[in-house]
Chain A
């Protein structure tokens, strides 16, 4: 027995760890979690990295847009090129500032209409794993962010906070397979459960009877009944509603209102979900 264990302990450890992982998936922590000390310190390791990368990214974008793209003009006239480069840089910088200003104003105005305490955040990265849909924002536990809180933009809902660190939070997108929320069709007030499909910016609506009035083009809003996402926030637009010949419910697909790859700033609604947050069905 001892020799067997000595020989195969690595394989046994690997299998035991996989069982532990399965437990974490199947029996997630039932309620709100705080930041563990190890997670907090681990996030500190990454914080300067994403801050630096964010800075470099902006610098590179500025360099590319302002200078590299103007190399063709340089061939025609050196003097003119410098002038054009300077002017374009000014215009680009001004336009960039204007757009950012507009976005932030919208976010601020939207924040006031939400009637809840919110905190603004910048998107600093995306989950690149094939199994989950998420993004990272630059606010964390120090700003009062907790798992389960809603993340929104003026354009619509984004998702919910999943893990929180110091200065960093992970957001599960509403297209992630683990996302579910109570929603209403704006036009007909039909209620349904929206679930993520795992990608493509698409959600599906569950438990809608074939007799209920849902058509392509309908806007879908969060109902707020489940106490997780704020009421009235746009989820997206119905792109297809099929009534199967056999089956109890319609097959409804909804395209999210927010383009998750393009979103730069978001708001975290600092209200604890009324239903305890579970990591498997967010």
Chain B
């Protein structure tokens, strides 16, 4: 339970810091999606209902801080959690390279889904520059995930042992 609370606090603080404080000073592609990382961590490392419990507040934070259609980010975050859980159960290997690639793939998957949905409703065309910036965001967030997940998973393992 302690780790869940740590994850919740980190997600809360990170999201608040990004949205309420750093936004406007730091460009969006350099701000890591902390709530996303919390959800993926919960999916990869926290088994059972406790993982879902940890993912729900982070999903709610995302819903509140992203201007997507109502409830869409909450549901897509839960979908992300289940996908991460599936990856954890079927494929996951506790290695730095695997954490990096899993996080990057999940980020890309979410981004591509959002782009497709935005294009389907005809809302905007995404420029090459935007793709480049999004690439930086994906790489940056995935890189942050590696030490963060390794550290937190180590702590979680010690707690469960």
Distance A33 CA – B31 CA, assembled complex (angstroms): 31
A-contact 0/1 string along B36-52, CB 8 Å cutoff: 00000000000000000
Chain A contacts of B21 at CB under 8 A? Answer: 53, 56-57, 125
* Known pairs A46-B64, A177-B123; A24 contacts B69 (CB<8 A): yes
Contact A131 B118 (CB under 8 A): yes
Chain A contacts of B18 at CB under 8 A? Answer: 128
Chain A contacts of B22 at CB under 8 A? Answer: 128
CB nearest neighbor in B for A163 = B70
Give the 6 A-B residue pairs with the shortest CB-CB distance, closest first: A177-B124, A134-B67, A126-B23, A17-B79, A177-B123, A198-B124
Chain A contacts of B156 at CB under 8 A? Answer: none
Secondary structure at the B interface, as helix, strand, loop or mixed, is helix
Distance A130 CA – B27 CA, assembled complex (angstroms): 10
* Known pairs A17-B82, A25-B72; A128 contacts B89 (CB<8 A): no
Contact B20 A53 (CB under 8 A): yes
* Known pairs A125-B20, A128-B19; A163 contacts B89 (CB<8 A): no
* Known pairs A17-B82, A57-B21, A176-B67; A130 contacts B76 (CB<8 A): no
Cβ 8 A contact of B70, one of A18, A33, A45, A178: A33
B122 to chain A, nearest CB (A): 8
* Known pairs A130-B137, A172-B67, A279-B70; A14 contacts B79 (CB<8 A): yes
* Known pairs A131-B68, A177-B124, A280-B121; A199 contacts B78 (CB<8 A): no
Chain B contacts of A110 at CB under 8 A? Answer: none
Cβ 8 A contact of B83, one of A11, A20, A198: A11
Chain B contacts of A56 at CB under 8 A? Answer: 21
Chain A contacts of B111 at CB under 8 A? Answer: 130-131
Distance A13 CA – B80 CA, assembled complex (angstroms): 10
Cβ 8 A contact of A28, one of B69, B115, B125, B126: B69
User: Is A249 close to B, CB under 8 A?
Assistant: no
* Known pairs A50-B20, A196-B124, A198-B124; A129 contacts B69 (CB<8 A): no
* Known pairs A28-B69, A126-B24, A134-B67; A14 contacts B83 (CB<8 A): yes
Size range of the chain B interface in the assembly: 35 or more
Chain B contact residues, CB within 8 Å of chain A? 12, 16-24, 28-29, 31, 33, 60-61, 63-72, 75-76, 78-80, 82-83, 85-86, 89, 111, 113-115, 117-118, 120-121, 123-127, 130, 133-134, 137
User: Is A75 close to B, CB under 8 A?
Assistant: no
Cβ 8 A contact of A49, one of B12, B33, B60, B117: B12
Contact B28 A128 (CB under 8 A): yes
Distance A261 CA – B28 CA, assembled complex (angstroms): 12
Contact A43 B75 (CB under 8 A): no
A219 to chain B, nearest CB (A): 24
Size range of the chain A interface in the assembly: 35 or more
User: Is A142 close to B, CB under 8 A?
Assistant: no
A267 to chain B, nearest CB (A): 19
Contact B86 A280 (CB under 8 A): no
Chain A contacts of B78 at CB under 8 A? Answer: 13, 17
Contact B68 A29 (CB under 8 A): no
User: Is A132 close to B, CB under 8 A?
Assistant: yes
Distance A10 CA – B76 CA, assembled complex (angstroms): 13
Contact A21 B70 (CB under 8 A): no
Cβ 8 A contact of B85, one of A10, A24, A42, A176: A10
Distance A124 CA – B19 CA, assembled complex (angstroms): 9
Given contacts A127-B67, A129-B67, 20 further A-B contacts (CB under 8 A): A10-B83, A13-B82, A14-B79, A14-B86, A17-B76, A17-B79, A25-B69, A25-B120, A33-B70, A49-B12, A127-B19, A129-B66, A130-B133, A133-B67, A134-B66, A163-B70, A176-B124, A178-B121, A196-B123, A198-B125
B-contact 0/1 string along A31-62, CB 8 Å cutoff: 00100000100110110011001101100000
A35 to chain B, nearest CB (A): 10
A sample of 26 cross-chain residue pairs with beta-carbon separation below 8 angstroms, ordered by A number, consists of A10-B82, A14-B86, A17-B75, A17-B78, A20-B75, A25-B121, A26-B117, A39-B70, A42-B63, A42-B64, A53-B20, A124-B20, A127-B65, A128-B22, A129-B33, A130-B28, A130-B130, A131-B68, A132-B66, A163-B67, A165-B64, A178-B123, A197-B124, A199-B130, A279-B69, A280-B121
